[in-house]
Structure 1
């Protein structure tokens, strides 16, 4: 008899080590418990991500003309001159017309709605991702950390079976798996850990977070705080406790989330979700808390979902028969019908090859996704430099320096004044040309996107973004006063945060002086 092949010997050795009864079998079982993801968690993640896409579109819609058309602050000429890392990535940049942007918004909304209900989940999710990247690339000046995390998280999730449960796809298939484990699901589990751990490391490079002072500084920033956040600065002891609690969650995320299992993991995930949702009534950070929540949902384990299902009526948890879905959704998926027809014609081998190829491709992409998350996420704070970092992370960013290393100890508001032909100075926008400190700086912005855009204008006052804003302000003032406008002046007022409860005098910066008549 000939000796077994090297591959056969390797398999036999692996079986002895890792198989049932092997010395490493307990470690393998423990790893599998921590890497398996409940498919109901993936379904909830899909529903939340799709809802975020819809809410994001609805939130952007009132500013669609201002931020995405040639008649707004960021016309195509400005788009082409700035943020060159996004060059050629925007379908929205094919036209500066309002009707074209509105059409793409409606199309994105339809794809997002299909993603929520889980109809052809991976296909519509990919289309949603393409349109999301296109929208972000059209005007990166209005993006915040939540947008970047959404753009990074969404494609990772598309490599997992998001439509396995609670979806039109699941009803049409008539079957589902209880839990899944793959390189792709591991990448999805790793992504929030990279965000939290990297941010904890970057915060440690500052002086305030680990001293318990950072949240008191952050909540003295009047342009960021809203609702309850406006009152928290009066409770420094509470903010110190919350500060240490937040740092503990960030620095201990691997231990709290990854190394736990069962009910303990679910409880830890709910603590994180509660902390994220606490941002909603306190800070003007847009959709960021909801994207963070979506990122942590895969850590909710079967005991949690079993309790949820028991609490819901049977009518909600029992899917309708496929025939009840209507003629468009009813019946088996078309790809399954085509596969059965090919098998009847004797082409079953081709069908089997196609399925194996698709499964292998997803596996390979999942491995690449996991390596990408770890390589670039860890590389951002490690001493080594990952290869091609700028190119690789242009879309899928892995830099999470949010409020790090220290929160800013000042805040700003902007005043745009117009000089009319008669020499009078009036407010080009807003109520008055006064330089007095507003009672609430956050209310000087229509949304967090306007705050982000004005920050970009402040950093580019002599560049294309500043000129685009000034020309738009000239048109707005001319329309408002129905007479020629001679010039526009943009001021930035910088107020040191009243950390000790007292206000210093704000500083006035003249950012732009633009001659409207010269164009």
Structure 2
């Protein structure tokens, strides 16, 4: 029995060095995310922007959600919170008070996501969950400032409820993504990628190269669907674990590289890449240490000697090539063992809850989660939905025109820096968006259910335009959407002009 259990637990045995790389990757992406968000402090997070607090509370607020960023409508307060989040992320990257900084980073990430849900995308859910599970993972045990104050680990591998949760979470992302793709474009006709690349709002140059080849796109559509559906199973094969993990990592690195070159999805591909290092097997980490650690140590020695005269410490464990890598429970006091048992129990319960939540998103059965149980998911933001291009790809496409009328009666387009008005399609529609947050906002702007948000965007753009004395004064601004529906066989409907909102000074 013990031998069987030892075999079954192999898929969940992780290298603590790989978990350290996971920590660094996640912290780095959090910093990039903050940098992108910080370019729109006033627009997205203040009362002077597109979603004032009273509008958020009236239309987009869940009473179980919490947000420190809603404590003030001033962009200056938001800037302070962003600096705190960046400081915590840097500390997490360096491994300084790792568990505390993981909690702080998670709290502030949840807070900023709750402040403006109109600009959120699927990758935000994954980034949030990586930090959440990181609270319970030993990802600060090595390659961290904290490790200098600890004795060397007796084993470089670990297995716990948290490692199970991390592996299962990665599988859920792709399983649910595939199961939610129920449209015929994914399962029968294979035209999903054709319609995705027909969306000018997200089309990148790499997508333009693929677009003329319908059979290639059809093959890639089915390859994507079945890869997402079947690939996660390899994470649970208890034999040749390192080989299967290598297949999983390599396939997804190439998959998300392809997405990043063809579709404008913001940080989605980076977040997915950042989720993978924790799966690196011991053999891979041994190779990386042999190649990278001596170079890093030599660089660190030069820098620290130059600044303080401090010497880089000797390795805290024997060469990993010679360490016997096996899951090991260190000798610990009874209180520590009790704490570990409680932690594993809590993580196990949360994992079952999350699996139940995901099961509910892809099925309609008697086992569906009732509303009275959802408060826990909203409170800790472990709610998740992996409906990327699901159940089918949008057919409605188009581009925005901010049609301004000057005091002299001239028509200009604020979306093109005040150029003379034209209804012709831009050469690159995707270039109209400063970043993916604005692209996602514009997508939500179209929905009738979000009509409440339209005047705030219109008035914000009118105010920003008027603050520049070099701009001509406007007497009216209309937000126009030139709607163009994608049809089969490289056809589209004639663009139609839709006035979404109008405002005046």
Residue equivalent to 1:180: 158
- Residue 317 of structure 2: aligned partner: none
2:383 corresponding residue in structure 1? 397
Which residue is 1:248 aligned to? 226
Q: 1:96 to 1:28 in 2, by over 3 A?
A: same
**Aligned 1:152-231 pairs, distance under 5 A:** 152-176=129-153, 177-203=155-181, 205-211=182-188, 212-231=190-209
Residues 153 and 295 of structure 1 are in contact (CA less than 8 Å); yes or no, is this contact kept in structure 2? yes
Q: Which of 372, 386, 397 lines up with 2:369 in the alignment? A: 386
Alpha carbons of 1:460 and 1:410: their partners in 2 closer, same or farther (altered >3 Å)?
Answer: closer
Aligned to 1:368: 349
1:115-514 map, 5 Å: 115-176=92-153, 177-203=155-181, 205-211=182-188, 212-259=190-237, 261-312=241-292, 314-316=294-296, 355-356=336-337, 358-382=339-363, 383=365, 384-387=367-370, 388=372, 390-394=374-378, 395-431=381-417, 432=419, 433-459=421-447, 463-480=451-468, 485-497=474-486, 500-514=489-503
Distance 2:478 2:176 in 1: 40
Q: Which one of the candidate residues 23, 40, 56 is aligned to 1:79?
A: 56
1:246 and 1:318 map into 2 onto residues whose CA distance is: 43
TM-score (norm 2): 0.86
Cα displacement (A) at 1:209: 1.2
Mean CA deviation greater in 98-107 or 462-471: 462-471
C-alpha spacing 1:184/1:95, structure 2 compared with 1 (3 Å) = same
Distance 2:281 2:335 in 1: 33
Aligned residues: 471
Q: CA deviation at 1:456?
A: 2.4
- 1:2-151 to structure 2, matched below 5 A, reads 18-19=1-2, 25=3, 27-85=4-62, 89-151=66-128
Contact 1:376 1:389 in 2 (8 A): no
Per-residue CA deviation, residues 191-246 of structure 1 (Å, 9 max, x unaligned), is: 1111111121121x210112322112211211112131222112223322322222
SS state of the match for residue 493, structure 1? Answer: strand
State how far apart, in whole Å, the 1-side matches of 2:428 and 2:337 are.
Answer: 59
Q: Distance in 1 between matches of 2:34 and 2:423?
A: 34
Secondary structure class of the residue paired with 2:62: helix
189-198 or 63-72, larger mean C-alpha shift? 63-72
Aligned residues of 1:496 and 1:504 also touching (Cα < 8 A): yes
Is the 2:354–2:382 contact (alpha carbons within 8 Å) kept by the matching residues of 1?
A: no
Q: 1:453 offset after TM fit, Å? A: 1.1
The answer to whether the 8 Å contact 1:219/1:225 transfers is yes
Larger CA deviation: 490-499 vs 221-230: 490-499
Q: Distance in 2 between matches of 1:354 and 1:99?
A: 45
Relative to structure 2, which stretch is displaced further, 93-102 or 294-303? 294-303
Query: Aligned-residue CA RMSD in angstroms?
Result: 2.8
Query: Aligned to 2:249, what secondary structure does the other structure show?
Result: helix
Q: Is the 8 A contact 1:460 1:466 kept in 2?
A: no
SS in 1 for 2:405: strand
Change (3 A) 1:313 1:156: closer
- Distance across 2 between alignment mates of 1:40 and 1:385: 39
Q: In 2, are the aligned partners of 1:78 and 1:468 still within 8 Å (CA)? A: no
Contact 2:20-2:278 at 8 Å conserved across structures: no
Structure 1: stretches of 5+ with no match in the other structure: 1-17, 20-24, 332-350
Q: Distance between the aligned counterparts of 1:214 and 1:389, measured in 2?
A: 35
Distance verdict in 2 for CA 1:209–1:463, change over 3 Å? closer
Conserved 8 A contact 1:428-1:476 = no
| Aligned CA distance change for structure 1 residues 60 and 271 (closer, same or farther; 3 Å) | same
TM-score (norm 1): 0.83
User: Greater Rg, structure 1 or structure 2?
Assistant: 1
Question: 1:57 Cα shift?
Answer: 0.9
3-state DSSP class of the match of 1:489?
Answer: strand
CA contact (8 A) 2:171 2:233 kept: no
> CA 1:208–1:326 in structure 2 vs 1: closer, same or farther (change >3 Å)?
farther
| Partner Cα distance (1:499, 1:314) in 2 | 57
SS in 2 for 1:497: strand
